[in-house]
Amino acid sequence: MQSKLASASSAPCALAQGAPTRAIAFDADREIPLETFFAHVRALAARLPEATHAVNLCEDRYRFLVAFCAVALRGQTTLLPPSRTRAAIDEVRALHPGSYCLGDGEPCGCDQAHLAPLPHYIALPDPLPREAGPLPLVDDAMLVAIGFTSGSTGVPKPNPKTWRNFRTSTAQNLAALAGLWPEEQTLHVVATVPPQHMYGMEMSVMLPLHGNVAVHGGRPFFPQDVAQALGEARGPRLLVTTPVHLHALVESQIDWPPMAGIVTATAPLPQALAAAAEARFGCEVREVFGSTETCVIARRRTAHEQAWTPLPGVRLTPQPDGTQVQAAHLPQPVVLADLMEVQDDGRFLLRGRQADLLEIAGKRASLGDLTRRLLAIPGVRDGVVFQLDEPDDARHPGGVRRIAALVVAPDLHERDILEALRRSVDPVFLPRRLVRVDALPRNETGKLPRAELLRVLQSNMN
């Protein structure tokens, strides 16, 4: 079965590269060869309804991979909501009437099992059926996915991705990981990030499709589960994770199998944590930089360097309000809100975001730097500084907007935290509202959606 959207201007491509016997996925019991994967994809594609879009909610990473490719084989586009909340799923589907959902969990399609079942929900059969046939092909120019931003800076925005976009960016990602393991061996990836997130798509879905890579079917959460999944690998091991998760793994007291490397993204990785992880696990930690809009565009070894190295073909042009990104996998330039200082050797330093920059009484600061200073206080386990929508003085709507902070510090009082901040922060930038909470409202990738920050702050102020 071939994609319906093939065109004369773009050649069809195989859904996955490699010999029929090479492993594309694994778990404790087996390795799944490419030929079995193709049989699963063909069988599921034949059972999908007529539609233009599908929401892939599969928790099992191999089943996500099968469903994603089956949807593409039918000429349909996969929608990737910014989270698995019912509101996020419904919002994305409202933009694409007639779409359906694929999943392997509760029929509500999310973590809120008490809600009514999703309409047009298809549960993947267990076991997955197989169907013989020719090599599955998809057109290179086909729109295979629409990813939505996390909402950490506002309303989630759609970002379309063609097969060519993913194929080209995956080649860059494989180059960025080069040197971590012998190329003649199959890399075995264990990921703690969901496949629905663009970082998870790139590192745990597209890598096994286009590289000599096998991915673990699970999404382990607790350190013991992560170690067990890594132990089930039959080749060089790569852990794909986030700074929040990596911190928990470093602090765990369990034994770890040897790893070829660790990749992290979604939030800034503190240099001290990167160094601690390299010492703890005996391997290199590579941090990658990207976005839903651009995919991964740069890397660095954070334990030893601050500057980022752009991936091959990536060109950066600083602008007053951000940075323009050009790359082979992008159909047109993309402007990110990140302010970058490009050095003479082509590497760059991140200088925050225009929206994060604060100017009060002629003085300047950034929310990112204020958050780093907050996290540096002994006893602070987690925290964030952000700016509210309303001005400090309600009588002057155009005035300076208030600064607030949420802090996880069980053994500290709010006044102690503010006093510690006062030692390194100008008084004009001290949070006017600082609230201790049990945990920050981080999503599955460790990010902090702005709407959730405002909700938690408001609920703790009442």
The pTM assigned to this predicted structure is 0.82
Cross-sheet strand order for the sheet of 334-336: 315-319, 322-326, 334-336
- The tally of CA atoms less than 13 A away on the side-chain side of residue 394 is 0
pLDDT for residue 402: 83
What number is the average pLDDT over the span 80-97? Answer: 85
pLDDT for residue 40: 98
pLDDT at 396 over 50: no
Q: Give the lowest-confidence range in 148-162, 195-209, 253-267.
A: 148-162
Structure confidence by residue, pLDDT tens digits, 193-247: 999 999 999 999 999 999 999 999 998 999 999 999 999 999 999 999 999 899 9
State how far the Cα of 372 lies from the Cα of 105, in Å rounded to an integer: 38
Q: Work out the end-to-end distance of the chain between its first and last CA atoms, rounded to an integer number of angstroms.
A: 58
Phi, psi of 170 (to 5 degrees): -65, -40
pLDDT for residue 81: 87
Residues in the chain: 462
Please give the full DSSP string across 221-289, using - where no structure is assigned: -SHHHHHHHHHT-SS-EEEEE-HHHHHHHHH--S-----SEEEE-SS---HHHHHHHHHHHSSEEEEEE
pLDDT for residue 344: 93
**Residue 112: pLDDT band by 50, 70, 90 thresholds?**
low
State how far the Cα of 430 lies from the Cα of 167, in Å rounded to an integer: 46
pLDDT at 276 over 60: yes
DSSP classification of residue 161:
E
Please give the full DSSP string across 207-238, using - where no structure is assigned: HHHHSSEEEES----SHHHHHHHHHT-SS-EE
Beta strands in 104-157 (DSSP E): 121-123, 137-139, 143-148
C-alpha distances in Å from residue 370, one per residue of 365, 383, 384, 402, 429: 8, 10, 8, 14, 8
Phi, psi of 447 (to 5 degrees): -80, 165
Structure confidence by residue, pLDDT tens digits, 335-348: 998 889 999 999 99
pLDDT at 7 over 60: no
pLDDT at 83 over 90: no
pLDDT at 152 over 70: no
pLDDT for residue 391: 62
What number is the average pLDDT over the span 433-440? Answer: 93
pLDDT at 10 over 80: no
Whole-number percent of the chain with pLDDT over 90: 66
pLDDT for residue 28: 92
Contact 255, 434 (CB under 8 A): no
